[in-house]
Amino acid sequence: MFGYLGLDSSLDDVLTNPVLNVWSRYLDEFNTKFPRDKVLMIDTFRVSFGDEALLHFLIKAKETPSTQKIASNMETSLLNKWILERINPDDVSQMIKAGTATNKVKVKLLETYSRKFKETYG
């Protein structure tokens, strides 16, 4: 459905695309009807765009008032997925370095992730 609605074509305006709300409602209904086959929004974005591109997009989207809330929520979901998948903080650091975000933003994100990773796995 995500691809059918054309949401997988570009990250650039996906969070402001009105069709995203249609897909989000569909996703909620699907997950209610089929709880054993639950689909998470972050998983669909990861498959469609990849972790590194998604990460840099979310960092940038958090700077825009109209997309700040959803981007922050999705970033938290992405970091939590990485924790569950035991993605090493060094690997996250490499992804962050590849982007264009300011050093302050990158450092804060990496510190947050590293802290959560350490709390979870020691």
pLDDT, residue 96, reads: 84
More confident residue, 101 or 90: 90
Tell me the domain boundaries of the chain.
14-121
When mean pLDDT is compared across 45-54, 77-86, 105-114, the lowest value belongs to 105-114
Q: Specify the DSSP class assigned to residue 36.
A: G
88: which residues sit within 8 A by CB, 6+ positions away? 117
- 16-71 per-position pLDDT tens digit: 999 999 999 999 999 999 999 999 999 999 999 999 999 999 999 999 999 999 99
pLDDT number for residue 4: 93
pLDDT number for residue 101: 61
